[in-house]
Amino acid sequence: MTIVAVWREADALWCVADTRISRPMEKGSVNVTTDAGGKLFPLRITCRKEAFFQHGVLFMNRPHHDQKVGVAFAGNVTAATQTITTMVLVCQELHTEKDDQIPALCDVAFLLSRVSAQYAAHVRSATLDLSTRNLFSFVIFGFCPVAQELQAWMIEEEVKDEQTTVSVKRCSTSSETDVIVLGSQQARFRELLTEFRSNGRDEFDRSTRWPKLVVEKMVLESRGDVGGSVSIGLATKDGFENRWTSAPDVPGQPRGRRLLNGIDVDEIIGRIGPARVGGFGQA
């Protein structure tokens, strides 16, 4: 699976995740597919009034609502990524009758649950798997334009008595001590979080943004299905953004490398015509 954490700091919801994609093997071991896998994504929600014909010409209305929120997952990669792919296609083409009609974040969360239920059924049917209790978990977080507040919603699939269900629940984000955790190594995350908070600092003398430091340490430990590098994103009332991370200094490798999902931004991605990857980073 993975490790994903979401928490609040002031007027933002932060999210961190590791980038290891793996599959379980016998005796508890894992087979690592890649250490550069994305599990944290932007989801654009765009609403416009229905297109109309006038004098034989089709007119497309400009969006009256356009925002980005964050969505992250832990669990089955096929079901999760196909769910997100469908969500991206759907949410950027929402049509309403009036300009003041905008879906709440909970509406998008329930849409995600319906879409993910379909892919969960496909995967379980194809693999004849009813023994895996929890196939995947999602967290969708960001600014709700209806409630006018930051929110986070968790969507979880599970099987009970050979029947699958997908639940949706709102998560508390009112306090900076509330941390939403997804993935198979939640116990290790909680253990390290308690340790860091008790000590007041980590081994590099850092004393803020504890969940990020915990996931970073877990990535460096590279135990089982958690490893690779750290993905970071944050949501505010103005939208959502992914941030590149600074790679730790490794002997024999260039210093100050920027990574996105474990990919070297400057060496691998490089320039795209006249453009390059900008944005903000996080050490």
- Angle between helix axes 77-91 and 105-127 (nearest 10 degrees) is 140
Whether residue 22 contacts residue 197, with contact meaning beta carbons closer than 8 Å, is answered with: no
As a whole number, mean pLDDT of residues 158-165 equals 83
Class for domain 3-282, per CATH? alpha beta
| pTM, to two decimals | 0.90
DSSP letter, residue 266 = I
Residue 65: phi and psi, rounded to 5, are: -150, 130
Q: Could you tell me the residue ranges of all domains in the chain?
A: 3-282
Q: Cα(124)–Cα(114) distance, rounded to whole angstroms? A: 16
pLDDT at 72 over 90: yes
- In 3D space, the residue among 235, 230, 233 whose CA is nearest the CA of residue 246 turns out to be 230
pLDDT at 248 over 70: no
pLDDT digits (tens, 9 = 90+) for 257-278: 889 999 999 899 999 999 998 8
pLDDT at 17 over 90: yes
Q: Cα(45)–Cα(38) distance, rounded to whole angstroms? A: 20
Q: Which residue has the higher pLDDT, 28 or 85?
A: 85
pLDDT at 194 over 70: yes
pLDDT digits (tens, 9 = 90+) for 106-129: 999 999 999 999 999 999 989 887
